[in-house]
Structure 1
């Protein structure tokens, strides 16, 4: 990558398919870099034309020609730093160094399933087991959570949350994925256990669901958790997640999402993991690591309190990005 003028901010593209859980990884890392050096961040959301949406990446040899009109276009002037996440971004990430004539430093998060030499740096979840000279392994995934961001989110929701009795329990519910499921019967049992624990503590619940939460599970959990003091967010209006995390004394999170677990672990607040049917070795490794670090424990029906040093893996990754941009992979 060529030298920039010391007066020019770093230009960064955060590239993904636009889904929140995917985009937040690229954008979170971009924002962490921008906290270390002056930078201008541009979010790029990729949408393929419907005829090519399911095409294997190996066949997307001219990916720019396959983008839909509603997609952000990928064209010069190229950024100094390209940070991308997700399958949709891979055909572009593998080519942008050549397109830019070597001017763009290319960072990819998540496991690309091979072809590591196409990237200047891979920021990969430790539990994925990816290794190489251009790989930085981190616990969990990059994200956007910082104490400042949580604090900034608080005033917009303080009037509704502040009167709620403590302890306040943030409840982050995921759902169906390749590895896990959340059937209605299990959701009902889970909700009952949460109600019992929060009631016993004399507290309140701040509940949010993901897009992957099955509708039947959402309905039964909403009905049962609404019996508690608190707020079960229905998905309408501004998202109160950051305010929930700011206000919480405890965090309960379903085990299906590395993103949610990592975000919770960055708060320094007790994180208890809610079991779901299913599982996989990668998730087992992640949760074992979080327990080893003193961050998380299994939820056994009681709210527990303890302290730990908040995870700051996104900031560590940002420092490594800048180190390699300036000095290369050695050192």
Structure 2
């Protein structure tokens, strides 16, 4: 169909974040027309630093980025704060030079105002105003790499075969606003692992890039002898993460990592959520998120008015997201009975393609 339907000239404007880019690719692969990718690299100070929200290329390493020049696109699909500023710059340049304004589809939590984009596609953890150019999905458009999981299962089959069942994987993230990883969090994780061991099973814990080494040491102090702890290392060849996704009888994920929870949900595996603790400032931030959820979800007209008046912003709703997974029977709070294996959570990309078609045909 791509050979017969030229469609609008489409650019995917993406940066260096693989997870973000994968969501754009999930949409692009379902488009019935061709597209081109424009990779943009950041100047060192903006790899982690946040540039001002405005149409601009000031944060780019232009020599390391793909060329941004005419012929300009008619449709731009982008994701993330830094690439979205580039998309807005392209839109402005194209309109000034040609008189035609490219449409922008933004994926995820926007840093710019929602109205700057023609379509915003986000999942339920992002609290957005109820406006026509917002499309809310149940889960992020993260496609599970089933080949990677199957490869992990095969590589770890012999090592897992000798472990007492049930095999419960513990997937650990790291501190991020508003959460903190302290000794109490380590004790809670270790306590859950000891319960698995007391029941005759094997707790197998895998840390991640964001897990502080000090926190891993605290975990080891109270972890049962029957359990296993994998300490994350860059470029390690023996990381059990994918194998646990495919082989574990259940998985417990720390609530700071929505992406890990989504991967488990995509497999339909029994999923437990352990929410980290909050710092004093984090408790205030949690209250802010709760108030935003109440306004955006329970009082959408008021929330929309406050957003337009710039008295209310967009934020992530961790609690609400996990509560929705629990209501759907896809998860339970860690320490309670895990749900039975269920139907893998489907991608909702078809809805997005319909909205994009409506946008380009308008």
Normalising by structure 2, report the TM-score: 0.73
Q: CA deviation at 1:129?
A: 2.4
Q: Is the 8 A contact 2:26 2:142 kept in 1?
A: no
> Is residue 2:254 matched to residue 1:259?
no
Q: CA deviation at 1:120?
A: 3.5
> Deviations for 1:187-221, whole angstroms, at most 9, x for unmatched residues?
43123213212212322233222333222112222
Match of 2:350 in 1: 319
Q: Is the 8 A contact 1:176 1:212 kept in 2?
A: yes
Structure-2 change in CA distance of 1:96 and 1:219 (3 Å): farther
Q: Is the 8 A contact 1:272 1:298 kept in 2?
A: yes
Q: Secondary structure at the match of 1:6?
A: coil
Q: Secondary structure at the match of 1:272?
A: strand
Structure-2 change in CA distance of 1:53 and 1:156 (3 Å): closer
Match of 1:27 in 2: 22
Q: After superposition, where does 1:1-331 map in structure 2 within 5 Å?
A: 5-6=3-4, 13=12, 15-16=14-15, 18-19=16-17, 23-31=18-26, 33-34=28-29, 42=37, 44=39, 46-50=41-45, 54=49, 56-58=51-53, 60-63=54-57, 65-68=58-61, 71-76=64-69, 82-99=76-93, 106-130=104-128, 131-145=130-144, 147-183=146-182, 185-222=183-220, 224-225=222-223, 227-230=225-228, 232-236=230-234, 237-238=236-237, 239-278=239-278, 280=286, 281=290, 282-300=317-335, 304-312=338-346, 315-316=347-348, 318-328=349-359
> Deviations for 1:252-307, whole angstroms, at most 9, x for unmatched residues?
0111222222222222111111131126231121111111111111112x653413
Structure-2 change in CA distance of 1:61 and 1:8 (3 Å): closer
* Comparing 198-207 and 251-260, the one that deviates more: 198-207
**Distance (whole Å) between structure 2 residues aligned to residue 218 and residue 93 of structure 1:** 40
Q: Is the 8 A contact 1:14 1:42 kept in 2?
A: yes
Q: Secondary structure at the match of 2:267?
A: coil
Structure-2 change in CA distance of 1:49 and 1:192 (3 Å): closer
* Comparing 103-112 and 238-247, the one that deviates more: 103-112
**Distance (whole Å) between structure 2 residues aligned to residue 11 and residue 330 of structure 1:** 14
Over the aligned positions, Cα root-mean-square deviation in angstroms equals 3.6
**Distance (whole Å) between structure 2 residues aligned to residue 114 and residue 217 of structure 1:** 35
Q: Is the 8 A contact 1:146 1:266 kept in 2?
A: no
**Distance (whole Å) between structure 1 residues aligned to residue 199 and residue 34 of structure 2:** 45
Structure-2 change in CA distance of 1:153 and 1:42 (3 Å): farther
Q: Is the 8 A contact 1:167 1:204 kept in 2?
A: yes
Alignment coverage as a number of residue pairs: 318
Q: CA deviation at 1:310?
A: 2.6
**Distance (whole Å) between structure 2 residues aligned to residue 40 and residue 167 of structure 1:** 46
> Deviations for 1:78-104, whole angstroms, at most 9, x for unmatched residues?
678644332222211323345566696
Match of 2:297 in 1: none
**Distance (whole Å) between structure 2 residues aligned to residue 41 and residue 157 of structure 1:** 38
Q: Is the 8 A contact 2:330 2:339 kept in 1?
A: no
Give 1 or 2 for the bigger CA radius of gyration: 2
Q: Is the 8 A contact 1:83 1:106 kept in 2?
A: yes
Q: Is the 8 A contact 2:76 2:104 kept in 1?
A: yes
Q: Is the 8 A contact 1:125 1:141 kept in 2?
A: yes
Q: CA deviation at 1:181?
A: 0.4
